[in-house]
Structure 1
Amino acid sequence: MKTSLLPRGASPARISADVSDLVLRRAPGRLWMTGFALALLFTGLFVAGIVHLLSTGIGIWGNNIPVAWAFDIANYVWWIAIGMAGTFISAALHLARQPWRAPLNRYAETMTVFAVSISGLFPIFHLGRPWFFYWLAPYPNRMDLWPQWRSSLLWDFFAIVAYLIVSLLYWYVGLLPDMATLRDRASRRWQQVFYGLLAMGWRGEVRHWQRHETLSLLLAGLAVPLVFSVHSMVALDFSEGLLPGWHSALFPPFFVAGALFSGFAMVLVLIIPLRRWYRLDAYIRLIHLDHLAKMMLAAGLVIDYSYAMELFDDWYGQDPYAIAGAMAKFHGPYAWVYWITMACNVVAIQPLWFERVRNTPWALWAVGILVLLGMWFERFLLIVNSLFHDFLPSSAGLFYPTLWDLVFLFGSIGLFFLLLMTFVRVLPLLSMVELRKLAHRLTRRSA
C-alpha cells in the first residue's frame, strides 16, 4: 500500500538480511563501476585544479576587481546548504518522533557529512595564502595577531566546525549498532575484523542501548539549532556588507529556507535512482517521496516569498542604488541568470501541488535537478550582481568564468559522488536499527 511505511511481514531478521546483503554479498554492478569511474575522473580534475591553484594562485579563476567573490563562494554556499536538509530529516524528525524518517535518515546524514566537508574547502581555496587558514582560529600567538571578533567570517568558522563535528558524531553513533550487525553477519575474516573495529565493542547490552539513545537525543538536540545558526552566519557574511542587494535583514531566514530547499532537492535526486538501482522500493516507498516533495514545496514557497519581499524592500525603501541593483536583475548583463533562477525555483516547483506528481519518481527527480540548478544560479546571482557594480560607475566590471572555475565546480560534484558511491559499497545505505524499531512499533500497534 502507498501509505504503508514498511512492507507487509517485515521482521527484524528480514530487515537485517535485506540491508546487510547489499554490503556483504552484493557484487558491484556495471552501472556502479561506470559511475565510480566517472566520479573518479572528475575528482582527479578537482585534485589537479587544487594543485594548480596552490602553485599559481587564485588568478586562475575569473575573479577580479570588483568581482572578488564568484564561483568559489557560490560553490561554498551551495554545498553547505545541501547538507542542512540531511540534519533536519535525521535530527529534527527524530526529536519530533516521526516514524517515516527511518528509511531516510542514514543516507541523509551521510549526505550532510560529505557536503559540509566539501563546502569547507572553498573558503580555504579562496584565501590568498590558503596554507594559513588556521589564522581564522583564535589560538594564542606571540605576535598578538588576533582575529576580529566582530566579523561574521570568524563566527562562520566556528559555526561550520561545530556543525561538522556534531554531524560526524551523530552519523557515527547511529552507525554503531549496524556495524555490529555487519560484523556478526559477515562470512569473510577481513569483513569481521573491519566491521568489528568500527563497531567499537558493541554487544547490544542494555547499558549500550541506554547510552546510545541518550547520546543520540543529545546530539540531535545540538544539531537542530546548528542548522539555523550555520546558514544564518553564512547570510551575515553578506548582509553585514553595505553593497546594494546585500545589506538586508531578510538574509538569515532567507538563507535557512534556501538551505532546506536545496537540501530536500538533493535528497530526492539521490534517493530516487538509489531506490531503483538497489531495489529498495519495499523500504523507500511512495509515501516517503510524497513527504519529501511536500517539504521541498513548503521550503520553496518561503523562497518565492523572499524573492517578492526582496523586490518590495528595494522599491519601498526608495534607495536608488538598491533599485538599480534590482533592475539589473531584470535586464542587466546577468539577467539570464535571474530568469533561469525564477524558472527553476518558482515555476518548476508548482506541479508539486498535485499528488500525482508527488507520487511519480521521475517527475520528482526532474524537479529536484531543476531546483539544484536554480539554487546554484541564485547564489551566483546574489554574489556577482551586487559586486559587478556598486556606488561608482567607474568601478564597475563584469565577471567571466574561466575553465578552472568550471573544473572546481564539477570536480567538487565528482568528489561528492565518489564519496557517496564508496559509502554505499562499504556501509549500510539504510539504518537497520531504525527500521527494526519501526517494525516493532508497527507490530505492537497492529496487535
Structure 2
Amino acid sequence: MDKVKSPEESRKLLDKITFDLTRSIVKRDEFTNFWYFLLIIFALVGLWGWGIQIRDGLGVTGMRDYVSWGMYIANFVFFVAVSLIGFLISSALHLLKIKWSKVISRVAEQVAIAAVALAGIIIVTDMGRPDRFLNVFLHGRFASPIIWDVTVVTTYLTISVLLYYLPLIPDLALLRDKGTDDIPQWKRNIYRILALGWKGHAEQYKLIAHAMRILMILIIPVGLSIHTVTSWLFAATLRSGWDTTIFGPYFVAGAFVAGVAAVIIVMFLYRTRYGLKDYFEDYHFNMMGKLFVLVCLVYLYFNINEFLVPGYKMKTAESIHLSNLFTGKYSTMFWATQFFGLLLPITLMVNKYFRKPVPITIISVFVLIASWFKRYIIVIPTLEHPFLPVQNVPENFQHYAPTSIEIMITVFSFMAALLIITVLAKMFPVITIWEYAEEKGISREIISEPKK
C-alpha cells in the first residue's frame, strides 16, 4: 500500500482513478457502435441457424448414429474450461493473498460468467427437443451424469455472479454519488438500485468481506466439480481415448490454460481500448505469464500421461486411436495443438520479453485457438472409432464434418460470449475502484463520503 496522503490529495487521486476506470462506461464512438452491430448480427445469424435446426431436426448437422457428439460438445467443453479461470483468479489467488490478482479479478469474473452462461446454452442447442429441457429439472435422476453437470454448471454460474456483484456494490455506490457527469442518468438509476443503499459503513465492508470469503471457499469444490463432472461424461465409458482415470485433473489443468489465455487477451483489449496502461501494468502481464507457464507445464504433464500409458500397453483399439491422432486423419490438427498450444508458448514465455503485453497477448490468441481444437480432438476421433465394426450404413455415417448450421451456431456462441463481456464492460468498471483506491492509500471514509 502507498503511503498515507492528505485528505485533499486523496480526493484528487480518487477522482482521477474514478475518471480513468469509468472510461469503459462513458466511451461511446463509431467503433463501439460497429462492434455492437457486428456481435448482434452474427449472433442473430446463429439464432436463425438454430431456428432451422429446431424446425428440421438434428439431421441438418453432421452428427449421425456413431458421431452423436459433434462440434457442440467441443464448444461446451471449451466454454466450461474457460469459465474455470474465475475460480483460479478470484478465489484461489485471493485466498493465497496474492495482491497482483486483485486488479485482474473482475476481468476473470467477466470471462467466467460469459463462458459458463454459454456452456449452458450450448447444451440446449445440442438437444433435438430443447422444449423438453425443463424435464431435466422436473424428472431428472441423480444416477445420470447429465444431472450432475446441469447442477454444477448452474451452481457455478450463481456463485460467479455473486463473486462479481458483491465487490461491485461499493463501486456502484461510488458511481451513484461521485461518478463523472458523462455517465448517463439511466445508468446512474441502475447503480442506485443495485447499490442496495450502500453507505460505506465499517459494518458493511465487514459483511462484504465475510460473504466474499465464504463464496471464495465455496467456489473451490464447485469449480473443480464443474470440469471434473464434465470429464466424467467422457471417462465413464469404455471407449478408447476416453477410458482413463486422469481425465478429471487433465481437464482442470487444460481449463486453467484456456482461461489464463482468455483473461490475458481481455486485459490487453481493455488496456488498449480504454487507456488503462497505468492499471493493467506490464507487471501484471509478467505475473500472468509466469502463471501461464506453470499451468502449461502441468497440462503438458497430463498430455504426456494421456498418450504414454495407452501407447505403452497398445491395445488394439488404443492403437487405432493413437495412430489416427499421431499419423492419420487428425495428425495435423493434433500436432498443431500440441506445438502452438503448449510447447511453443512454454518455450517462449520462459523468456521475460515474451511476458510483455503484446507478445503474451499474441501467444494467448494462439493458445486459445489451440485449446478449442484440442477439445474437438477429444470429442470427435474417439466417436469415429467404436469397438463394433461400422457396417451397413451410408458413407456419411462413418465420418464427421460440421455443417454450416453447426458453424453458424458455434459463431453465435462466441459472439454471445463476447457480447456479455462487452455489456459488462460498458455497464460497470473493469477494475474494482474501491480496492484499487485502498491500495493507493485512500481511506474508506474518503471513498464513501458524499460528493461535495
TM-score (norm 1): 0.91
CA distance in structure 2 between the aligned counterparts of 1:309 and 1:104, rounded to whole angstroms: 32
Task: Find the counterpart in structure 2 of residue 216 from structure 1.
Answer: 212
CA apart distance, 1:151? 2.8
Greater CA deviation, 321-330 or 189-198?
189-198
CA distance in structure 2 between the aligned counterparts of 1:5 and 1:236, rounded to whole angstroms: 48
CA apart distance, 1:154? 1.6
| Mapped contact 1:75–1:409 kept (Cα < 8 A) | yes
Task: Find the counterpart in structure 2 of residue 142 from structure 1.
Answer: none
Task: Find the counterpart in structure 1 of residue 351 from structure 2.
Answer: 354
CA apart distance, 1:377? 0.8
C-alpha spacing 1:21/1:243, structure 2 compared with 1 (3 Å) = closer
CA apart distance, 1:35? 1.9
| Mapped contact 1:348–1:370 kept (Cα < 8 A) | no
Task: Find the counterpart in structure 2 of residue 159 from structure 1.
Answer: 152
Task: Find the counterpart in structure 2 of residue 47 from structure 1.
Answer: 47
CA apart distance, 1:366? 1.3
Which residue of 237, 240, 246 maps to 1:241? 237
Task: Find the counterpart in structure 2 of residue 445 from structure 1.
Answer: none
Percent identical among aligned pairs is 25
Corresponding letter in the other structure for 1:114: A
SS in 2 for 1:393: coil
Which residue of 290, 293, 305 maps to 1:294? 290
CA apart distance, 1:189? 4.2
Greater CA deviation, 405-414 or 258-267?
405-414
CA distance in structure 2 between the aligned counterparts of 1:238 and 1:79, rounded to whole angstroms: 16
| Mapped contact 1:5–1:100 kept (Cα < 8 A) | no
C-alpha spacing 1:155/1:82, structure 2 compared with 1 (3 Å) = same
CA distance in structure 2 between the aligned counterparts of 1:50 and 1:64, rounded to whole angstroms: 18
CA distance in structure 1 between the aligned counterparts of 2:426 and 2:277, rounded to whole angstroms: 19
Which residue of 222, 225, 228 maps to 2:224? 228
For 1:78-157, what aligned pairs fall within 5 Å after superposition?
A: 78-137=78-137, 139=138, 146-157=139-150
Corresponding letter in the other structure for 1:353: V
Which residue of 13, 18, 21 maps to 2:20? 18
Task: Find the counterpart in structure 1 of residue 446 from structure 2.
Answer: none
Which residue of 169, 173, 177 maps to 2:170? 177
CA apart distance, 1:21? 4.6
CA apart distance, 1:303? 1.8
CA distance in structure 2 between the aligned counterparts of 1:135 and 1:415, rounded to whole angstroms: 25
SS in 1 for 2:100: helix
CA apart distance, 1:118? 0.6
Task: Find the counterpart in structure 2 of residue 192 from structure 1.
Answer: 188
SS in 2 for 1:104: helix
Corresponding letter in the other structure for 2:148: W
Corresponding letter in the other structure for 1:346: L
Corresponding letter in the other structure for 2:383: L
CA apart distance, 1:441? 8.9
Task: Find the counterpart in structure 2 of residue 262 from structure 1.
Answer: 258
SS in 2 for 1:62: coil
CA distance in structure 1 between the aligned counterparts of 2:372 and 2:336, rounded to whole angstroms: 10
C-alpha spacing 1:191/1:309, structure 2 compared with 1 (3 Å) = closer
CA distance in structure 1 between the aligned counterparts of 2:252 and 2:237, rounded to whole angstroms: 19
Q: Does 1:412 align with 2:413?
A: yes
CA distance in structure 2 between the aligned counterparts of 1:30 and 1:316, rounded to whole angstroms: 58
**Structure 2: where are the runs of 5+ without partners?**
392-396, 444-452
CA apart distance, 1:401? 1.1
| Mapped contact 2:241–2:321 kept (Cα < 8 A) | yes
SS in 2 for 1:99: coil
| Mapped contact 1:71–1:380 kept (Cα < 8 A) | yes
CA distance in structure 2 between the aligned counterparts of 1:410 and 1:34, rounded to whole angstroms: 18
CA distance in structure 2 between the aligned counterparts of 1:22 and 1:147, rounded to whole angstroms: 43
Q: Does 1:381 align with 2:377?
A: yes
Residues 28-67 of structure 1 deviation map (CA, whole Å, 9 limit, x = unaligned) = 1233222222112211112212222222222221111211
Task: Find the counterpart in structure 2 of residue 204 from structure 1.
Answer: 200
CA distance in structure 2 between the aligned counterparts of 1:196 and 1:441, rounded to whole angstroms: 23
CA distance in structure 2 between the aligned counterparts of 1:319 and 1:427, rounded to whole angstroms: 55
Residues 75-120 of structure 1 deviation map (CA, whole Å, 9 limit, x = unaligned) = 0010111111123111212211111112111121111111100111
CA apart distance, 1:5? 10
CA distance in structure 1 between the aligned counterparts of 2:115 and 2:277, rounded to whole angstroms: 26
The runs of at least 4 consecutive aligned structure 1 residues that moved more than 6 Å come to none
| Mapped contact 2:187–2:427 kept (Cα < 8 A) | no
CA distance in structure 1 between the aligned counterparts of 2:312 and 2:293, rounded to whole angstroms: 28
| Mapped contact 1:20–1:428 kept (Cα < 8 A) | yes
**Structure 1: where are the runs of 5+ without partners?**
140-145, 443-447
Which residue of 307, 319, 323 maps to 1:323? 319
Residues 189-245 of structure 1 deviation map (CA, whole Å, 9 limit, x = unaligned) = 434322101111111112211111111111111112222111000000000011110
